[in-house]
Structure 1
Amino acid sequence: MRSPQRRDVLKATSALALAGIAGVGSASGPDDGGDTLRLFSEVAVGGSLEVSTQGTRAYVATGNGLAVVDWRNPTRPEVVGSMTAADPAGGILDAKVEGDLASLASNGGPGITLVDVSDPTDPTEIGFVDVGHHIHNNFLADGYAYLTVNESGDAAFSEARTTIVDVRDPWNPEVVGEYRLKDDFPEFAAGGVNPCHDVYVQDDLLYQAFWDAGVVVADVSDPTDPQLVSQFGEAPNADSPGFDLEEYLTAPGNAHYVQPSPDGDLVYVGAETFPGGFVENPDNDDYGGITIFDVSDYDEPRELVRIDPPNVDAFRTSHNFDVTANRLHASWYDGGVTVHDVTDPANPETVASYHTDDTSFWGAEAARGFTVGSNIGGGLVFLHEDRGKRGSPGFDTTGRPDSPGIE
């Protein structure tokens, strides 16, 4: 295993490490927190999917474009601007923002749409970056866009990678680099269930969720030449060739979303699974949870604990989440939204939750003392641990997922 080292601030050289540590525990289900998150305010956003907050604004992917929500007054959030992305964009599930630039990932188109959001009341399309393949998720950091790219070759997802686009001048974007799974892990690239599903960038480190291949961390201090730092959390059969639908939909594995702690010593990995009626095996009812890894030594990443899904009778796999210094804010589709105290990451404690029978959540973000949840298709809810009402939002909440096609 090669282990390049180019940054003095890294705490250890890179290495391949297996994270399945014997005796690792499981945290209690989020129902222990009770339904103590309260609905402080809400705003209808048609087609709402991923939400990204920046200051007093929330940016929402809407399937065909972007909506901007102003919540300077958190009691009265309102949609102040929106736009529909031009062809060839389509199936926009993910929106990210950095400064005055937003990027919209086209799950049904071959790239990302760049949007000028300097005037939130008039988000304006700058242009489309065509990379030739659909983009499920993306991330903006330090003037670069990181795109999940998957294409089939001799094996499903054999060309799974992250493509890096220089957007410092968004009117003249340029593809400048990429990290390919096959360059460091050809056995995983030849496996049938290892797409690059989501990415996160912090402190020049690129965190990539490669489904059953687990998490691959790369140094992107030079975005034109990403270098391997570490890999961990793969499923036992991640190198099995050929695509198997049931293996893809069920545990173990399914690294769907990844985010480090603010200090970088921990990595949170959410698994998205589709058991029950989606697979032939009726006994496979393991809904995906969120696993916390200690990566303070990248030579030896250690799995600390898994946070189980809410103990409710609903489709409740982990979806997107947000991590602060001592809190984890998580969404669980029909299972609702939860908040966990992770001051002691080996013993996380559920401190609050929000669940109703008619809501389903795509994401949850921490912002300004609130948990901002994106109810699929309906809008945003602003949840608070002490203030607000119980019950469902007043907007339409019928956008619940009914198949693994919405992920």
Structure 2
Amino acid sequence: MNRRQFLRVAGGAALLGGVGTVGRSVAHPGPFEPLGSVAIDGAKEAVVSADGQTAYVAATTGYAVVDVSTPDRPEVLADRRDLLSDREDGPLRGIYDVKLDGETLVVVGPANPLPGAPSGVLVVDVSDPASPTELDFYETDFPIHNCFAADGRVYLTANDGEGNPLVVLDIASGDELGRWSLVSEDDRWADVRTSLWAIHDVWVRDGVAYIAHWDAGTWIVDVSDPANPAVITAIEPGDPTALADRSRTGLIRAGRTPPGNHHYVATNDDATLLGIGVESWAYEIENEDDTTELVGGPSGVSLWDISTPSDPTKLSTIDPPQSPEPTYGGVWTTAHNFDFHDGRLYTSWYRGGVKRHDITDPSDPVELAWWRDPETASFWTAQYAFPFADEGVFVASSWGVGDEDGALYTFPDHTGEQRNPPTLVSETTTESLVQTATSTPTGTAGDTPTTTGESRTETPGFGLAVGATALGAAGLWYRTRGRD
């Protein structure tokens, strides 16, 4: 792979227009394509400094710092691997997330349970981005898939296989300031396998936490006093009674398909608009007449008016690109992480690419640009960086495809069309490849999994290949580490 690859031109006719009812804008002169890219092995989440000049990338076995100030020539300033390797149980592994609080970077892991490996929060001084200094490590007795850092605090997804709380630590001292658990609000969730209500991600603004709770929906919680969190409301909170008695294969199906699967949340700058990304796939079921069908499928990003936080109103949904193989073992085009900036929404869709939307009218989002290269790039996030020339720059991290390296891409922040974009589905396809069932078929149908292509083990979500097994292990791990 060319590590400074600007654009890989793939064959195929252009797939015109966005999926669903989202409108399209008039194209910017010239093709829409990356400005540049730089390879980063194991790239996952990326965050950008306040001035937009530097990107920090979680890289599975460490983290990388990238100078994006010259966007056509992004440059790795520092690449730190094998963190905490001097520990008997080191190194820190499974690093899927990093977050910034001013000039402090927090690096968390492992994303999924790794018995025998360290788990916790590594605090790094990045006042000199080219020479990060690791200050402290706060060990936890739970894995950390994602986190958020703000105002001297770090908010952790503490999926321990029991209460799955949100845990708040003081970054300077490592002291726990408070925690909140779903079962403290609705104890019926205690009867549901915790894999279905794992906290997948959290976003905090102005003392309010927005918590993506997978099949338990999104919860909005006042954490201004972390020792006394208070629920404001819940969005699409799910039905614990309906989920309580699922079989193992029923759990897998529920974890992979809508409804539920609230994966990522973020607000706009003034916290009047909330985006909820749903990560899902299609699932093959056998009907009683021995036929098979797909239920579920990739999901998108919904926009909610939260100007009155206690009374959110759904405004619109941006649908995902269609996939030729929408099952978990196929071609992923479901929503992943995203970012708001100044009336724009920047989204990532794995092999479905990255998109920009005009959301100045959030009830009617307009697609401005779409770029994808499904044979090379599978995008984890898209984040606005900084104004540049007469437009701007956003960055997007890819965790790679097959033997292709992970990378950080830079994109122009303008409207445009990709030249000769590769198609994701057949040109003759006019309808969704997936039929979404509104109820589970009778008998055992719906609990029979397909075995095709389900060997992938590195999973960004819960309720999937790791699913009940991993979070069951998390509970055992938690109890064992507590005894130790």
Flag the structure with higher strand content. 1
Among 70, 74, 89, which residue is 1:73 paired with? 70
Which 5+ residue runs of structure 2 have no aligned equivalent? Answer: 1-18, 85-89, 287-291, 325-330, 387-391, 401-405, 422-454, 462-484
Preserved CA contact (<8 Å) 1:31 1:311: no
Among 441, 444, 460, which residue is 1:406 paired with? 460
Any idea what SS the aligned residue of 2:128 has? coil
How far 1:203 sits from its partner (Å)? 1.0
Matches within 5 A, 1:293-332: 293-311=304-322, 313=324, 314-332=331-349
Q: What does residue 47 of structure 1 align with? A: 42
Output the CA distance in 2 between the equivalents of 1:151 and 1:270: 23
Any idea what SS the aligned residue of 1:92 has? coil
Structure 2-normalised TM-score? Answer: 0.70
Any idea what SS the aligned residue of 2:410 has? strand
Among 51, 55, 76, which residue is 1:58 paired with? 55
1:228 aligns with 2:250: no
Output the CA distance in 1 between the equivalents of 2:62 and 2:383: 20
Matches within 5 A, 1:93-112: 93-106=96-109, 107=111, 108=114, 109-112=118-121
Matches within 5 A, 1:76-225: 76-84=73-81, 85-86=83-84, 87=90, 89-106=92-109, 107=111, 108=114, 109-153=118-162, 159-167=163-171, 169=172, 172-192=173-193, 193-225=196-228
State the one-letter code of the partner of 1:94: D
Q: What does residue 367 of structure 1 align with? A: 385
RMSD over aligned CA atoms reads 2.7
Preserved CA contact (<8 Å) 2:219 2:237: no
Output the CA distance in 2 between the equivalents of 1:234 and 1:36: 42
Q: Deviations over 1:186-227 (max 9, x none)?
A: 223433311111000111111100111111111122223222
How far 1:242 sits from its partner (Å)? 5.0
Output the CA distance in 1 between the equivalents of 2:310 and 2:276: 18
Q: What does residue 383 of structure 1 align with? A: 411
Q: Deviations over 1:94-113 (max 9, x none)?
A: 11112221111201442222
Output the CA distance in 2 between the equivalents of 1:389 and 1:351: 11
Q: Deviations over 1:32-62 (max 9, x none)?
A: 9989631111111121110001121000001
The verdict on how the C-alpha distance between 1:199 and 1:162 changes in structure 2, with shifts beyond 3 A counting, is same
Preserved CA contact (<8 Å) 1:295 1:301: yes
Output the CA distance in 1 between the equivalents of 2:208 and 2:182: 16
Output the CA distance in 2 between the equivalents of 1:135 and 1:101: 18
The verdict on how the C-alpha distance between 1:119 and 1:323 changes in structure 2, with shifts beyond 3 A counting, is same
State the one-letter code of the partner of 1:373: A
Output the CA distance in 2 between the equivalents of 1:30 and 1:195: 34
Matches within 5 A, 1:324-363: 324-358=341-375, 359-363=377-381
Any idea what SS the aligned residue of 1:357 has? coil
Name whichever of 340-349 and 236-245 sits farther off: 236-245
Identity %: 33
Matches within 5 A, 1:242-257: 244-257=251-264
How far 1:390 sits from its partner (Å)? 5.4
Name whichever of 304-313 and 90-99 sits farther off: 304-313
Structure with higher Rg: it is: 2
Preserved CA contact (<8 Å) 1:71 1:77: yes
Matches within 5 A, 1:31-46: 37-46=32-41
The verdict on how the C-alpha distance between 1:102 and 1:46 changes in structure 2, with shifts beyond 3 A counting, is same
Among 302, 305, 317, which residue is 1:291 paired with? 302
State the one-letter code of the partner of 1:272: E
Q: What does residue 474 of structure 2 align with? A: none
Any idea what SS the aligned residue of 1:345 has? coil
Output the CA distance in 1 between the equivalents of 2:419 and 2:379: 17
How far 1:89 sits from its partner (Å)? 2.0
Name whichever of 303-312 and 59-68 sits farther off: 303-312
Instruction: Give the total of aligned pairs.
Output: 365
State the one-letter code of the partner of 2:380: W
Preserved CA contact (<8 Å) 2:369 2:415: no
Output the CA distance in 2 between the equivalents of 1:290 and 1:351: 16
Preserved CA contact (<8 Å) 1:206 1:219: yes
How far 1:310 sits from its partner (Å)? 1.6
Q: Deviations over 1:63-93 (max 9, x none)?
A: 0111000122222210011212212521000
Preserved CA contact (<8 Å) 1:178 1:226: yes
Output the CA distance in 1 between the equivalents of 2:396 and 2:23: 16
State the one-letter code of the partner of 2:337: N
Which 5+ residue runs of structure 1 have no aligned equivalent? Answer: 1-25, 154-158, 393-400
How far 1:231 sits from its partner (Å)? 1.0
1:272 aligns with 2:279: yes
Structure 1-normalised TM-score? Answer: 0.83
How far 1:122 sits from its partner (Å)? 2.0
State the one-letter code of the partner of 2:262: A
Output the CA distance in 2 between the equivalents of 1:145 and 1:285: 34
